[in-house]
Structure 1
Amino acid sequence: MKIHRAYRYELDPNTEQRILLAKHAGAARFAYNWGLARWIEIYEKEGRTTNAIELHRELNRLKKTDFPWMYEVSKWAPQEALRDLEKAFQNFFRGRKTGRKVGHPKFRRKHDRRDSFRLDNSSGTIRLLLDGLDPRHPGKARHIVLPRIGAVRLKEKPIRRKKGGVVRAHLPQGRILHATVSREADRWFVSLTVEEEIPDPPPPKGPAAGIDAGLKSFTTLADETGAIRKTDAPRPLRRALKRLRRLQRKLSRRGVRDEEKGRLIERTKNYEKTRLEIARLHRRIRNIRLDFLHKLTTELV
């Protein structure tokens, strides 16, 4: 059977590549916001909806005259952002038909979400360099090639070490479909979506069990014998959440604010310093949760 599997690596870009990565994320955000504004305008004036293909054609026509800076980034960054916009509207309209509460697509603000963009690999330009023998990138090992950005060094070798010294390669075993590059605080990551062929899973064995997610206990498990086992959330998570609340209160006191409306009108250096500290803590909380869930599901299986 065929599956889509994700491979995530941390990047170690140089200064020039960091600027290019930020430009790609900015171009994706701009294309999404521009497409959303045009979608609303077309609907209000013509009473119809549009799609990602039509918007991308119009955006391409405007590049030379209105947005020449977009030639500095890969064409895939804005194109994939417009596809995300179309999917957001499809979910919105589908939710209205089925009665589900799905919000209308919103404009993306720079400081309200993490920087990210997606690159399609239909042309086969995205690839991992591991042996340094690629003729187009001689001597480049432990790198990934991204369109318009070039060969970006990986933070670590794509391997995983298990207990007992056993080494397992963490490498794609199929066709790379696309790459999603994202920034968490001051670190950049790339996630590769790969189409792989795997054997069909065996039929389930063992007794059935029921799992309930609660507030006091993270999970409560009961098997066929009536035995009950409770699992609590990890202590480091509780400490990190407590520290997050303290930092968020500290951030609310930073910066220059409008006395009447209370809105932030100037981001000071201390404000940005605290904001980066919060972003790093969010990344740590996310890693604690993922590690806990991975260990819990592995134990249950």
Structure 2
Amino acid sequence: MYSLKLELKLNNKEKSRLAGCAGFARFVYNFGLSMLTSSWDFEEIKASDSKRLTAIEKVFTNHVKTNPEFAWMQQYPSAIYSSALRNLAKAVERWRKGESGFPQMKSRKRGDSFTVLKKSGVYPAIGEPMLPFTNRQVLQLGKRITIPGLGDFRLKQPIPFLCSSQSFTISRTADKWFVSFSLDVEKIPPLIHEVESVGVDLGVKTFATLSDGTTIVAPSSLKKAKTKLNKLQWRNRRKRAIR
């Protein structure tokens, strides 16, 4: 599994939009964590953490999001809150296994980040399996990227080769925004640049002469060093002749 992390080139409107998406993901994560810990107080409820979080997601979808008080949530794709609850489930699982501490409430001070997935695929017919790789976002070479549910964005560094991914994580460090995505490949394709080979001939009058006729003049520091060396050699030869 390989991943790429590239910096996004955003205008002020795009920065505000991504900051809003991060705030939405943070709200859902904290909501899910609060509901989950509250559900542990009811000892008569026998259910695993995953089943509890599945029920919490249904409550959020059918009741919280439909509440007029939270109408602002409708402007954000559902993939954001699904991923936020999925990340919470992973954090709780790591805690249960003793691999990390208990999940903490997210705050803006710790930085903005959220994840989106491309979940929809192409099915030939009802009951038939999904066509392979249709639930993945194809990424073309160049300085543009399409993020599922969010649209197209410009990049400061180009995508180096044709690839695809299902999961995209957008994060902010200081005033810079980044997108990272995983690639299910065994080996990253090599980057091959077209170059022309030339021969090099080191000389006395010129530092080097290339086979295409280009001449390279020796740096002044090298010229001084060679002059000093010549003087030392001349003095040594003169001393030997006097003896």
Shorter-chain TM-score tier: 0.5 to 0.7
Listed one character per residue, the Cα deviations across residues 48-68 of structure 1 (whole Å, up to 9, x for unaligned) are 454332222111112011422
Equivalent runs, 1:248-287 vs 2, <5 Å: none
- Partner residue, 2:172: 183
Cα separation, 2, equivalents of 1:143 and 1:19: 19
SS at match of 2:87: helix
Say if 2:140 and 2:161, in contact at 8 Å, map to a contact too. no
SS at match of 2:40: helix
Cα separation, 2, equivalents of 1:30 and 1:41: 17
Cα separation, 2, equivalents of 1:184 and 1:196: 28
TM-score for the superposition, normalised by structure 1? 0.51
How far did residue 20 of structure 1 move? 1.4
- Partner residue, 2:139: 128
Say if 1:9 and 1:154, in contact at 8 Å, map to a contact too. yes
How far did residue 147 of structure 1 move? 3.0
- Partner residue, 1:91: 94
Listed one character per residue, the Cα deviations across residues 18-76 of structure 1 (whole Å, up to 9, x for unaligned) are 11111111111111100000001111134545433222211111201142211111211
- Which amino acid counterpart does residue 4 of structure 2 have in structure 1? Y
In structure 2, list runs of 5 or more residues that go unmatched: 121-134, 189-243
- Which amino acid counterpart does residue 27 of structure 2 have in structure 1? F
Cα separation, 1, equivalents of 2:186 and 2:148: 26
Identity of aligned residues (%): 30
- Partner residue, 2:203: none
RCO higher in 1 or 2 (8 Å CA, sep ≥ 6)?
Answer: 2
Say if 1:127 and 1:146, in contact at 8 Å, map to a contact too. no
- Which amino acid counterpart does residue 74 of structure 1 have in structure 2? P
- Which amino acid counterpart does residue 128 of structure 1 have in structure 2? L
Rate the CA distance shift 1:126–1:15 in 2: closer, same or farther, 3 A.
farther
Residue 185 (structure 2) aligned to one of 178, 190, 196: 196
Rate the CA distance shift 1:26–1:126 in 2: closer, same or farther, 3 A.
farther
Number of positions where the alignment pairs a residue of Structure 1 with one of Structure 2: 168
Say if 1:178 and 1:194, in contact at 8 Å, map to a contact too. no
Residue 64 (structure 1) aligned to one of 66, 85, 95: 66
Residue 31 (structure 1) aligned to one of 28, 32, 39: 28
Cα separation, 2, equivalents of 1:13 and 1:129: 19
Say if 1:125 and 1:145, in contact at 8 Å, map to a contact too. no
How far did residue 8 of structure 1 move? 1.2
Task: Say which is worse superposed, 186-195 or 39-48, in terms of deviation.
Answer: 39-48
- Partner residue, 2:150: 149
Establish whether residue 171 from structure 1 lines up as the match of residue 161 from structure 2: yes
- Which amino acid counterpart does residue 66 of structure 2 have in structure 1? K
Cα separation, 2, equivalents of 1:172 and 1:43: 47
SS at match of 2:97: helix
- Partner residue, 1:295: none
Rate the CA distance shift 1:84–1:18 in 2: closer, same or farther, 3 A.
same
